[in-house]
Amino acid sequence: MLKCTRSQERAPFLRQFPFILEESTAQEVEQSTLLIDAPLDNEGNAAGEDLEIEIYFLKD
């Protein structure tokens, strides 16, 4: 599962997800879930809804 954080002050729209695979290889990954927090308005209130996106990696 990948979690997108709000603490990206230098590049607020850039998201990178590094992670270590301890018991498998990148080629063995078939699916992941991306969680994105809702954006915040100027007062720090949620300006939308959180997202949960299923990502499937297809192999030829």
Q: What is the pLDDT of residues 37-49, one digit of tens each?
A: 898 999 999 999 9
31-36 and 51-56 as β-strands: parallel, antiparallel, unpaired?
antiparallel
pLDDT at 12: 66
| Within a domain: 38 | yes
User: Distance of CA 58 to CAs 27, 31, 44, Å?
Assistant: 10, 9, 38
Identify whether 11 is part of a domain: no
Assess if residue 15 is contained within a domain: no
Task: List the domain range (segments joined by +) for residue 38.
Answer: 31-60
| pLDDT mean over 5-25 | 72
